[in-house]
Every structure is written in C-alpha cells, then in structure tokens.
Amino acid sequence: MPLDPQAKAFLDMNEAAGAPPTSSMTPEENRERTADLGKLAGIPKEIAKIENRMIPVDGGEIGVRLYTPNGLGPFPVFVYFHGGGWVIGNLETVDTLCRNIAHESECLVISVDYRLAPEHKFPVPVEDCYAAVEWAAQHASSLNGDGTKLAIGGDSAGGNLAAVVAQQAKQRGGPPISFQALIYPATQLGGETESYRENGEGYFLTADSMQWFFRQYLNDEEERKSVLASPLLNEDLAGLPPALVITAEYDPLRDEGAMYADKLRQAGVPVEYTCYEGMIHGFFWMAGLMDKGAQAVSQVSSSLRSVFQRL
C-alpha cells in the first residue's frame, strides 16, 4: 500500500522541522526533543481517577501511574510499558494513550516508569518491568483491581519488554498473565530483516536510530543474543499468554513483529496479528494525528475487553 496521507503529512512536518538524526544527539537531547510526543495522542477521555505511586524495585524504586476507569470494579489490570528505545519516553509520553485505553477497555491501567538506559543498562529495564507486574498482581485488590485478570503490553521497546516479561513470568513461576498486547515490538535486537532494508530510512524510525538505541541499552554486542534482550530467540514459547501483535507497514521493526507472531502461533499460542497498511513506527502514539492510530488503540482496548469477558 502507499504511505498513508496522514503518515506522510507527519513525516513532511518532521522533515521541515529539520531535526538532526537521533544518533547525533545525546540521550538528554533526545529526551528533550521528544518531550512533547504525548500531545499527539488526541483528546484525553474521561476516567474516574489518575494516581501516581512509587513502588520498590531492586536497587531503588520507580514510579507507576494508575488509571482507574469509570464503574464499580474490581477491574481487570493492564500493565503498560512505554516505548522509546529503552532511552526516551516516560509516564507523560503515554499519559493520554493510557487514559484512553482505560476508558475504552474498562481496565485498571498501570503505566510503568522503568529506569532508562544508558544510566540503567540491560537488564535493569527488564527487571523493573517484571517487578512492576509482580507488584500489580500482589496489590491489585487494594487498587480496586482483579489480580486474577492480568494483562501486559507495550509499544516498540515497551513491546520488547512486555514479550520478555511474559516469557520470564512463565520461566520464573511468576504472576499468571492472561494476555499480552505487543505493538510493533522489537523482538530481535540487530536482526537483519527485509523491513529494515526497505524502511530503514525516511519513515521516522531509522535503522541508524535503532543501532544507537542498542548501543545505549546493551553493555556489549553479545547481549543481543540473550532472550532477555531478543525474545524471538527463545525456542520455548509454548504456554505463553494469548497475544495481539500489531505492526506497521513502513516500519523497520515490521518483520520481527510478524516473525514473533508466527513463532508464538507455531508454539500453540493464540495470536491475533494485524499489520496496519500505510503506517509508520510510532503511529500508536499519534491517535490525534492518524485515524489508524486511534483504530489501533481501539483494537487493543476491545481485545482486552474480549479476553477478560471470557475469564
């Protein structure tokens, strides 16, 4: 399909702004440049309550933000990990996104402010996210949530972390997870795919940027082969939670998302896979600019509702 006109308009606007490449800037400069991305998520929908908490993790504590939908509860729980290459992004970046998922899905959404690289390199973000899921399961009832109805999800690097956490919960005998929503997840760090070759330049996320993110996140090249970094390399995916995997046609990460969906399916895991035609990486954050972004938010929300109605 041709590039979606709304995606093209965003790319033209981005090019006109003349921002330097991600790899030419420091982590701090990249964070500052992307600080306003959350404003692209559209109009915030009404929910009952938003609350910030600090939770313990190994070596310190991290923030979480709780989004309680309207209604009586107890609500199913959806733990969300933001994207940003393990380097950028925070609670504000996905604030409207998480609020709108809470509204549409009727889930208690817990957004996780995991520690970022390069200050906190691999596997610190993985362990922070795993600790957040354990905390959510243990404290759900006090938050008007139902810890037996627990889902996780994330976009891009957050999708990577969600996939890894789902695998680790199975391996470590952790909280039972009912569902995973993986939005254009990074599943094989540094993998050579056709979509990297086709979409590595000119479509917002570049192959060069991804290499920069890897260098910030990992301690050395060898870590790319760890299943804690590249969940696609895990040969034992049987018994993982049902998954929704969303990719974008003009995204370097498209093929590894599709490959992970296929590998889950081959392992007997129920999978719904959607590639949004004409879309670019990041469109899920841009529901205020792109109709298909709003459509993807609704798809995630309706999938969550369907899963929890069956439980």
Catalytic positions, written as ranges: 156, 251, 281
DSSP per residue over 153-208, as a string?
EEETHHHHHHHHHHHHHHHHT-----EEEEES---STT---HHHHHHSSSSSS-HH
Whether the CB-CB separation of 139 and 132 falls below 8 Å is answered with no
The token pair at 75 is 């609500």
Dihedral sign for Cα 135, 139, 145, 148, please.
positive
What pairs with residue 243 in β-bridges?
180, 271
Report how far residue 39's alpha carbon sits from residue 93's, in angstroms, rounded to the nearest whole number: 8
Cα angle, residue 292 at apex, residues 269 and 188 outer, rounded to 5°: 45
Report how far residue 144's alpha carbon sits from residue 125's, in angstroms, rounded to the nearest whole number: 27
Whether the CB-CB separation of 237 and 231 falls below 8 Å is answered with no
Whether the CB-CB separation of 206 and 200 falls below 8 Å is answered with yes
Give the β-pairing of 145-155 and 75-81: parallel
